[in-house]
């Protein structure tokens, strides 16, 4: 990860922790769980190829 990206991540993490500081334990756990789910979904979406390679079944070899 590039240094600029690391600094951005650190800043955002601090902001989120400060924003959630007043939440109760259960509410904070739910909040961070939802945040993690959203981050994971976004990460996966970014890793999906925009145009997946089409498979040519006619040219596949059979073993």
State yes or no: pLDDT of 52 exceeds 90.
no
Distance of CA 61 to the CA centre of its chain: 37
Mean pLDDT within 24-46? 96
pLDDT band at residue 61 using 50, 70 and 90 as cut-offs: low
What pLDDT score was predicted for residue 26?
97
Torsion region of 49: left, alpha or beta (phi above 0 gives left; psi -120 to 50 gives alpha): beta
Segments making up each domain of the chain, as ranges: 3-44
Are 16 and 28 in contact, with CB atoms under 8 Å apart? Answer: no
Cα 55–Cα 46–Cα 42 angle in degrees, nearest 5: 130
What pLDDT score was predicted for residue 63?
57
């Amino acid at each position: 990860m590039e240094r600029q990206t690391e600094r951005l991540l650190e800043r955002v993490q601090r902001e989120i922790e400060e924003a959630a500081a007043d939440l109760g334990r259960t509410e904070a756990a739910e909040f961070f769980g939802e945040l993690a789910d959203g981050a994971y979904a976004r990460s996966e979406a970014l890793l999906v190829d925009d145009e997946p390679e089409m498979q040519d079944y006619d040219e596949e070899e059979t073993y």
